Amino acid sequence: MPTMSELVSAHSRSSEDDLNWLHALLGDLQLLADLAFADIVLWTPSIDGEFVAVAHARPSSAATLFYRDFVGQVIKPDWKRLVTDAFERGAILDSSAPDWFEETPTRVRAVPVLRRTSPSAGPQQTIGPIAVLTRHTNLSEARMPSRQELTFNDCANDLFRMIATGDFPTLTAPTAPRRGAPRASDGLIRLDVDGTVLFASPNALSAFNRIGFSGELEGQNLAQVVTELLPERFGVDEMLPVVVTGKAPWRTEVEARGSTLSIRAIPVRHDEERVGAIVLCREVTELRHQEQELITKDATIREIHHRVKNNLQTVASLLRIQARRSNSEEARESLSQATRRVSAIAVVHDTLSQGLAQSVDFDEVFDRVLMLIAEVASTHHTRVHPIKRGAFGVLPSDYATPLALALTELVTNAVEHGLAGREGNVVITAHRADEGLTVSVRDNGVGLPEGKVGTGLGTQIVRTLIEGELGGLIDWHTMSGRGTEVTIAVPFNFTE
């Protein structure tokens, strides 16, 4: 399914600022659906005079009307007139008679979406409408609404009015919600302009009970309640006062008695005046504990990679010292090869120790591996010009280590056996596709007789790594006097 950006770009002439505004509104589309107990569909005007659905949110607080998603579809003729009028007039409009959808009576409300040019812009500095929201309410389940349902609907109507005047979403609000951001069903508090609680849902009251509040929230000043709950040596978040008073559209967290409460405020404005606020709250103690555990584990894993890298470098240094003191040329060469292999593995662990993800940018790893080849060339009186083409991309760690070691062996073989005592090129070409990675290592050295493949330890290591660990294929193509080309192909699904 195409993204909202792709749909808007394909069907309308919306500017980048319009698209950013719609993305901010999309972040709260689910909140609108939950507060309104209705399906919410976002429509943008198309180039050919139609309206195309670019987003659809179903309520978690009521049954959805629409079994199938509308995203990407052109508006139904039954709704087009209402949406067009709301768009052209810039006013909220309701259907005059029940709209029937698959034998279900519904009420449709069309809300024009206007955009402010800046956070401080007045009503005369709005642009649009740039889109239209439609609310589809199921009338077949009509009954006497509870006080909570009435309050939720009032909150939804407040937000719809703010959308139609460019007051919502707010440009100064956080752009990306933190994990565990509160939802309407988690807990909702309605404040008046002075910060007094007019309504608190049962879940909101339960959330405050968990951080030590006992009693009724309604009639209390929320800022005073929170202040009394804070420990004496609590480092106050600078956003806390403006959030609990409903003066700014920000988020904060309150920690008390071993529990953590996430709070988000949405100031309600009518005619440029703040008249109250909607405060959403959620008890996120367990989520924060999990996040802290993940942070600790990530730090531990990075430290492990760092120590492994240090240990491998120590081993490589010891092997290098032993090689220098060896009187046997054969032993010295074997120790030097072992040093390069250990160093190649250390490069991967060094890269892993620098980030949180257990994946590495293999192009960066391979560039560092190529630096090891200079030592090989110097010992064989060879002048090598390594040439890298294409890109490897990001690879998981269990993929990167054997591949780095295998390529080290292939490039080393090209220098030692193909270009020993002469000047030449080693060309490494990487081609990444959806199904896998193909890499070729080609030199313009003396080559081997066609059909003959080396039988040394390096060749055995490459076969074991590529065919055994990575489930790939390897092919040697040699032409005497014109160099050697080795091609390896590794499927990605082997590591998925």
Can you give the pLDDT at residue 451? Answer: 52
Can you give the pLDDT at residue 496? Answer: 43
User: CA 220 to CA 92: how far, in whole Å?
Assistant: 34
Can you give the pLDDT at residue 79? Answer: 92
Q: 285-325 and 329-352 are packed helices; what angle lies between their axes, rounded to 10 degrees?
A: 160
Can you give the pLDDT at residue 443? Answer: 83
pLDDT tens series, the chain, 496 aa: 678 888 877 777 778 888 989 998 998 999 999 999 999 999 999 888 899 999 999 998 888 888 888 898 999 998 999 999 999 999 999 988 877 777 778 899 999 999 988 655 555 578 879 999 999 988 877 667 889 999 999 999 999 999 999 999 987 776 545 666 899 999 999 999 999 999 999 999 999 999 889 889 999 999 999 988 887 655 556 778 888 899 989 888 888 888 888 999 999 999 889 999 999 999 888 887 777 777 677 777 777 777 777 777 788 788 778 877 788 877 877 787 787 778 777 877 777 777 656 778 888 888 887 776 666 666 666 777 788 889 888 888 778 888 888 888 888 877 777 676 677 888 889 999 888 899 998 888 776 655 556 666 777 888 888 888 888 888 888 766 677 888 989 888 644 4
Can you give the pLDDT at residue 321? Answer: 83
User: CA 407 to CA 464: how far, in whole Å?
Assistant: 13
User: CA 228 to CA 224: how far, in whole Å?
Assistant: 6
User: CA 240 to CA 248: how far, in whole Å?
Assistant: 10
Sign of CA dihedral 59, 62, 66, 68: positive
**Residues contacting residue 12 through CB under 8 Å, at least 6 positions apart:** 44, 45, 46, 47, 52
Question: Which residues pair with residue 485 across a beta bridge?
Answer: 442, 477
The three-state DSSP-derived secondary structure of the chain is CCCHHHHHHHHCCCCHHHHHHHHHHHCCHHHHHHHHCCEEEEEEECCCCCEEEEEEECCCCCCCCCCCCCCCCECCHHHHHHHHHHHHHCCCEECCCCEEECCEEEEEEEEEEEEECCCCCCHHHEEEEEEEEEEEEECCCCCCCCHHHHHHHHHHHHHHHHHHHCCCCCCCCCCCCCCCCCCCCCCEEEEECCCEEEEECHHHHHHHHHCCCCCCCCCCEHHHHHHHHCCCCCCCCCCHHHHHCCCCCCEEEEEECCEEEEEEEEEEEECCEEEEEEEEEEECHHHHHHHHHHHHHHHHHHHHHHHHHHHHHHHHHHHHHHHHHCCCHHHHHHHHHHHHHHHHHHHHHHHHCCCCCCEEEHHHHHHHHHHHHHHHHHHCCCEEEEEEEECCCEEEHHHHHHHHHHHHHHHHHHHHHHCCCCEEEEEEEEEECCCEEEEEEEECCCCCCCCCCCCCHHHHHHHHHHHHHCCCEEEEEECCCCCEEEEEEEEHHHCC
User: CA 460 to CA 238: how far, in whole Å?
Assistant: 62
User: CA 411 to CA 372: how far, in whole Å?
Assistant: 10
Paired tokens of 200: 């608190």
User: CA 480 to CA 491: how far, in whole Å?
Assistant: 31
Exposed (0-12), middle (13-18) or buried (19+): which is 316, by Cβ within 10 Å?
Answer: buried
